[in-house]
A and B are shown apart, each in its own frame.
Chain A
Amino acid sequence: MALLAYSENTGDQDALISFLENVIDACVFELYFHEHMRDKDLLFHGEVIPLIQNYDPEASEQAQKAFVEQFYKAANAPDHPIRNRLLRLTADSPDLLAVIKDNGTV
């Protein structure tokens, strides 16, 4: 079926890439605004590190792809703290992180 084949090749990859970009953005925010994000219960490093500590940069491309997909499935699950903190990042920080997000710059 076109849709299922499509999703395995392209569609889901777009979702995954977009999600990873958002996680990376949030982790960078935390480097700059750790205190502010801690006050808002918006810290990410502590949640991300356990999920990526077994990442092997020397592994085959296929293994690395599978690792990233696994990270995406785990961190983007509806009740996972990473997904939920991303969802409320701008709501809980309308005057700082929302402004940065809106302007597209860190």
Chain B
Amino acid sequence: MKSRLHRIEIRNFKAFRSFTLNLEGRHLLVYGPNGSGKSSLYWALYTFLQSARKRPEHAIAKYFDASNPQNLLNIHEDATAKPGEIALTLRDIATRNDTTYRISQADHGTFQQPAILKGDLASDFVTYRFFFGFSDFKNSEKFDLWPLFEKEILPFCVSTGGQVPLDTWQAIKSGNPNPQNYSGYAGTDAYDSFKRKTNEFAAILPGIVDAISTEAQRFYDDHFSADDPAKVTLKLGVTTPPSATGSNQNDFRFTHPVIEFGIQIDGETIHRPQTFLNEAKLTQLALSVRFAASLVNLHESDLKLLVLDDLLVSLDMSNRMKVVEILLTEQFDNYQKVILTHDLGFFREFQRLISDDLGNWCIRILKGNASAGITAESNKNPLEKARQYINGHDLEEAAVQLRKAAEETAKRYRRFAMGETPRPGQFHSLSEDLKVARKHLAQQLPMALYKRVVAGTPEAHRDKLVCASDSDLDTDTSLDAATKGKLKAQRRHLRQFLSDTA
């Protein structure tokens, strides 16, 4: 990868009044409660990338035009004093040169820019909605993924024919599906245009779906098949292509595409996957399909973002941690990941998982709201927070942070000393981590004792390290008889240890 997203600047767009985020080429992990601007960040990146192929006369200016009902300006901001703008800065890794691209009502600097066009073809935006939709089919329903595909995958699909599938589909949707209302040439033109676009879409859709289907099987086999008692075969296919039939305007008819999802287990067809499979397995299949759609996108691009907007809220904990584990594998190395979450527990757990790679991550907390303004604050570690609370005389909160610091330190020590990485979903209490640390330290003690005390003492003098007589204990009036007995026994052990070592 030659370029990375270095800086995001957003002015007067959705929840943002004026917002800057310096990623410096790193992956981005963002926590923000509802209303703090996560989705606005998602839409800013999405709108920006798609702008490269939107013709200037059509699509971009309207989002920043206060007089246009489709504008996406911040409702609390004055568009005259502060016009809306999204600016992304890419930094060339080799030369460290920055290039800033902007979109606003007046500036469409991304149009036909190969770097942004390819970034759009290479990037993907994934939300929880796909996974909710995937497991929401009723028993009586055909498992037709088209409605879900149209909303959650098609906008990010690529075609080897060079067409933009979403644009072709939108041209069909914005056309008149039954142009017999037009008379004369107008009707003929609308009829021909609609039919041509439909045929074009029907030609490119199977290629897209087939590539995703093949990759989804590979993804499933790599990540989820290990515990399966039998081979799971999955398949997506366009079983009903979109069609515009009829030889004239009077019998014209449009048919929506159908993308069926099929499963076989050990060669046996599962006719109702939504009923037969449990929630966790359905989720694994959905993840395979959705991430396959990402992985078949363009690989050869400087800019390649994977933006996940609260993706994991729809998943159970075992699949949630599995997804994180997958995202951190080499398979997703060439993506610059942007992970947005409103789940504080997940935010903290994710930080723990990347604690060995923190240098490659920019971690931010969104604070504020659309009215007051939103800022991205760096995430202080618990010790820094404890110090801040102590300075503010909030001892209770300082204690909570100190406890967290102790937990993190014990966890890190356990990983470092034992070379042990917890499995996804595996948690240890502070006392467990401390016990492991104490045991490990205790095992190290004899060698440290030998090096520091015994090895530095001539062999002939080693018996002098512990007093030969216990008379000092006998005459010590501050000790009771039981304590004196214990200490004498411990001295015996120590003498024995020193003579063994010698």
Q: A-side interface residues toward B, CB under 8 Å?
A: 1-4, 6-7, 11-12, 14-16, 18-19, 21-22, 73, 76, 78-79, 81, 83-92, 94-95, 97-98, 101
Contact = CB atoms under 8 A, between A and B. Distances in A.
Interface stretch (B114-122, B390-398, B422-430): B114-122
29 contacts: A1-B264, A2-B260, A3-B261, A3-B262, A4-B233, A4-B264, A6-B237, A7-B213, A11-B206, A11-B210, A11-B239, A14-B203, A15-B210, A18-B204, A18-B206, A18-B207, A19-B160, A22-B161, A78-B215, A81-B300, A84-B300, A87-B159, A88-B118, A88-B121, A88-B298, A91-B117, A91-B118, A92-B117, A97-B162
Nearest to B120: A91
Contact of B239 (A3, A15, A95, A98): A3
B162 A89 contact: yes
Nearest to B161: A22
B321 interface: no
Given A3-B235, A84-B298, A91-B118, 7 more contacts: A1-B271, A11-B210, A19-B160, A21-B161, A84-B299, A88-B121, A94-B112
A12 B206 contact: yes
Contacts of B207: 14-15, 18-19
Interface string B120-141: 1100000000000000000000
Interface string B277-301: 0000000000000000001111111
A78 B211 contact: yes
Number of chain B interface residues as a range: 35 or more
Contacts of B204: 18
Given A14-B203, A18-B161, A86-B160, A1 B209 contact: no
**Nearest 7 pairs between A and B by C-beta?**
A15-B210, A91-B117, A3-B262, A90-B162, A1-B269, A14-B206, A86-B160
Interface in B247-269: 260-262, 264, 269
Nearest to B113: A94
B410 interface: no
